[in-house]
Amino acid sequence: MFISYASDDRDIAKRLFEQLTDAGALHVWWDSRNVRGADLWKNEIDEGLLRSQVVIAVLTRKSVDPERTWVNYDLDHASKLLRTIIPCLFEPEKAFMSEGLLPKRFKPTSLIAFSENPEEGLRRLLNAIGDRLPKWGQEFTNHARGIQHKFVGRQKDLEAIKDLIDNESRTSTARQLIAVQGIGGMGKTMLAHELVRRLASRVTLPGRRRD
């Protein structure tokens, strides 16, 4: 798991890190613990996002400020990597929503509120993490080809198919078929290979520990 937060909210992120660790969660990445030197900041963040299955977004009045470059970088890069992002609100919900502070990338129904009842918020977060962890096996990763060319321009298509996979995997452990249709030459095969390549890093393999 990767915790995304504003530097002013370091105490919140630290407490959340400790709560998740104490609850027996998988390895939790946050920059105060993992980044060793400003010169490695971006590379470490990129690696943390690449290795994580779930990104936890700490939402406060400070973190939703459009000027928060690194918070926006975290979430934009996580979206491009098709990571599941769980928004956690650490402000009074009614005031936060009435002032229109919720970023457009998040839906009000997906928020997990911590300010009124922190224990209930943690319980809901742990349940949400469990619901969103991928259920695919090693066979999936065996088809993940290495990248040969920079893949650009199909982010919306990738996200649409990823959402179909996630929605199906939350309701059933059986195999499902998702068809990608279109005329020849439009890039269906390349799209499928890129989707598998990005999602393969979310799979837990025997003998390997994933975040």
- Domains of the chain with CATH codes: 2-132 (3.40.50.10140), 138-200 (no CATH)
d(CA 40, CA 50): 15
Answering whether pTM is above 0.95, one says no
> Residues 11, 139: contact at Cβ < 8 Å?
no
pLDDT band at 147 (very low <50, low <70, confident <90, very high): very low
pLDDT by residue (tens digit) across 111-135?
Answer: 999 999 999 999 999 888 887 765 5
Q: DSSP assignment, residue 57?
A: E
